[in-house]
Amino acid sequence: MENNALGRQLMVEYFNCSSARLNDVQHIRQSMLDAAQATGATVVGEVFHQFNPHGVSGVVVIAESHLAIHTWPEYGYAAVDLFTCGNEIDPYKGFEALKRALRSGHFEVREFLRGQITDRQHPLLHKPALAEADWMEH
């Protein structure tokens, strides 16, 4: 990742997925946790919801940001957001894990650099030690 960005965000559209897998909240939950692990992230929380008559939404909060999913089993489609911070976390590994887990036949990926701070003299530290008084002044 460029040293002037706080994070990378992959916005992924998975098409032609297994409808049964997209409508199984436990499968989606485990797949998202597996994707977080594949990125190298640290999971700190999760929330998943099964909709009636179909569909699942969920978020895995990671120390390095978040992974989110919304599924439309009736269309074989899932929208996923993989937002990671730091140079040690690889969102593309999470993308690959989900592609397999959802049995996606087609996908589109867009990558965005988030928090590009260009007016700095030194590379950004992703979790620098900074006293509260210092950051509150800004």
Task: State the catalytic residues.
Answer: 65, 70, 85
The amino acid occupying position 18 is S
Which tokens belong to 84? 């990671």
Give the integer Cα–Cα distance in Å for 117 and 78: 31
